[in-house]
Amino acid sequence: MKVKTLNTFVLLAGIAFWGMTAAIDIPQDIINGFGQGKSELVSKYFIGNVELTLNNKENIYSSTQAEIILKDFFRKNAPQSFTIIHEGGKTESKYAIGKLKTTGGNYRVTILLKQSGNKIYIHQLRIEQDAA
């Protein structure tokens, strides 16, 4: 009887721990958007205002403005490939660092995602020239 109670406790503790540590996933549309240069795939995860840093120019933009800036960036720097090289986070927030290879050079992309209810959105986006 004690073994069954202990097993049930371990199972419930494991489920609780998994639920607390299960971070949100990076939506495939965001990865595809960067890889294919499709700002509309990325921007559908913008909500309200977005903190956008592009080549050391940082500002807070409306989602519409941020999409225009990203579209212009892709027009000038056609993506050749995009790879997530690191990611981490918590239950309701996640970050990803990616390597973007373009016709205009290589960039380091940092994306901060947050979850509100069932909606995942980009809270912060940094695109910086890769020093390597």
| Cα–Cα distance measured from residue 58 to residue 36, given in angstroms and rounded to the nearest whole number | 24
* pLDDT tens digits along 26-82: 899 999 999 999 999 999 999 889 999 998 899 999 999 999 999 999 999 999 999
> Looking at the predicted structure, is the pLDDT value of residue 116 above 70?
yes
> Looking at the predicted structure, is the pLDDT value of residue 102 above 90?
yes
Domains in the chain, please, with CATH?
24-129 (3.10.450.50)
Structure tokens at 118: 């069932």
Confidence of residue 132 (pLDDT cuts 50, 70, 90): low
DSSP state of 78: -
